[in-house]
Amino acid sequence: RYGDPVECSLVITSLNAPPTYQALSYAWGTQSAVEEISLEGKRFKVTPNLEDALLQLRNDKADLFSIDAICIYVYRP
């Protein structure tokens, strides 16, 4: 429902038989992560653009998304 928080989970799959998914790459450069979603039941900070995209896409037929900001973690000291 509109207004409900975004809740996500991680799925580990085999590269030999990958499931169908949609790729979501939403930002270049630096953008402050000021919104929060629920990822595996824990708070996870994301940019407003990603939260907006997930809110719009959660009613889409695609259940799986590859989101670079979540799936690719880059250590930044």
With a cut of 80, say whether residue 2 has pLDDT above it.
Answer: no
Contacting residues for 34 by C-beta, under 8 A, at least 6 apart: 45, 47, 48
pLDDT tens for residues 6-64? Answer: 999 988 888 899 888 888 886 666 677 789 999 999 999 998 888 988 988 887 766 88
What's residue 76's pLDDT?
54
Domains in the chain: boundaries: 7-71
Contact assessment for residue 73 and residue 29, using Cβ atoms and an 8 Å cutoff: no
Which residue, 70, 24, 71, is CA-closest to 44? 70
With a cut of 80, say whether residue 74 has pLDDT above it.
Answer: no
Burial pattern 59-73, b for ≥16 Cβ within 10 A else e, equals eeeeeebebebbeee
